[in-house]
Amino acid sequence: MQQDILRVAQAIERAERILIITGAGLSADSGLPTYRGLGGLYNGLTAEGLPIERALSGPMLQRDPALCWKYLAELGRACLGARPNGGHVAIAELQRRKPQCWVLTQNIDGYHLAAGSPPQRLIEIHGQLAPLFCQSCGQGSCDMASHLAGSLPPTCAQCGGVLRPPVVLFEEMLPEQALEQLYDELHRGFDVVLAVGTTASFPYIVEPLLQARRSGGFTVEVNPALTDLSTVVDVRLAGRALDVLPALLGHIYGH
């Protein structure tokens, strides 16, 4: 493991353009549930007998906003009750040292920004849980905590419409601006791509790894468990991001 960490650190040290892809495993070290696999909140059906993908979907928010908000509120309380961990902080510090280091995250908790990642080099492909906005009139409403303490679904003080977060629910499209930004940067290419705490096999997660490998770049996975990505990377660092990333950072010089 130590040899592999040194090898990855040397590759990052030499690299100019770096992409770090992060998933739920990174925030699991902050105490957030991953929602899938061991320890996930929703292994099976909700109390209403629905798959979580239906309860937390765009159509459900329109059809039965109270039901959808029951589970959005669980997500919101979990995110508000935790904070960024050493993995998030190490990524933000790496971005400080490497001005062409980008983060592509599936996470909606806002912890990358809270840890100090620059917003202009952060692509939140699934959006964020805050701030809320009204679906009817577009009025913004920042204070998620006070809405979660009240009746659900939260409504707009101005027009009474149902509020929602700028997050991508199931059956909704990915944000166009985030996708454009990602593909613009992919077009420029990356020397090193790291996948941290993600088990996803979505094209926008796998393609950056495959593209880097095709162009002679260096690819890395940081995850305690084997995933679909494990066979397509150059180096697999088996461990929690909370432990691995600060250790990795310790071998990378500042600029």
Domain CATH for 18: 3.40.50.1220
User: DSSP E strands: which ranges in 76-159?
Assistant: 101-105, 122-124, 132-134, 140-141
Q: How many residues appear in the chain?
A: 255
Same structural domain for residues 37 and 27?
A: no
CB 235 within 8 A of CB 209: no
What is the chain's pLDDT, residue by residue, as a tens digit (255 residues)? 789 999 999 999 999 999 999 999 999 888 886 655 433 455 567 888 888 889 999 999 999 999 999 999 988 888 888 899 999 999 999 999 999 999 999 999 999 999 999 999 999 999 998 899 999 999 888 778 888 888 999 999 999 999 999 999 999 999 999 999 999 999 999 999 999 999 888 899 999 999 999 999 999 999 999 999 999 999 999 999 999 999 999 998 754
Same structural domain for residues 150 and 176?
A: no
Same structural domain for residues 252 and 140?
A: no
pLDDT of residue 164: 95
pLDDT of residue 75: 87
Which of 116, 143, 164 marks a domain boundary?
Answer: 164
Same structural domain for residues 25 and 56?
A: no
Residue 164 CA, distance from chain mean position: 19
Same structural domain for residues 71 and 88?
A: no
d(CA 44, CA 36): 10
Same structural domain for residues 123 and 141?
A: no
CB neighbour class for 184 (10 Å; exposed up to 12, middle 13-18, buried from 19): exposed
Q: Which two tokens stand for residue 187?
A: 């077009």
Which of 113, 141, 164 marks a domain boundary?
Answer: 164
Enzyme catalytic residues: 126
pLDDT tens for 3-28 read 999 999 999 999 999 999 999 999 98
- Which region, left, alpha or beta, applies to residue 103 given φ > 0 means left and ψ of -120 to 50 means alpha? beta
What's the structural domain count of the chain?
2
Same structural domain for residues 254 and 145?
A: no
Give the residue carrying structure tokens 């993600």. 198
Instruction: Look up the CATH number of the domain holding residue 46.
Output: 3.30.1600.10
Same structural domain for residues 122 and 223?
A: yes
Same structural domain for residues 238 and 197?
A: yes
Same structural domain for residues 116 and 213?
A: yes
pLDDT of residue 39: 39
Range of the domain at 187: 1-31+84-127+172-255
pLDDT of residue 254: 54
Same structural domain for residues 197 and 222?
A: yes
Same structural domain for residues 215 and 243?
A: yes
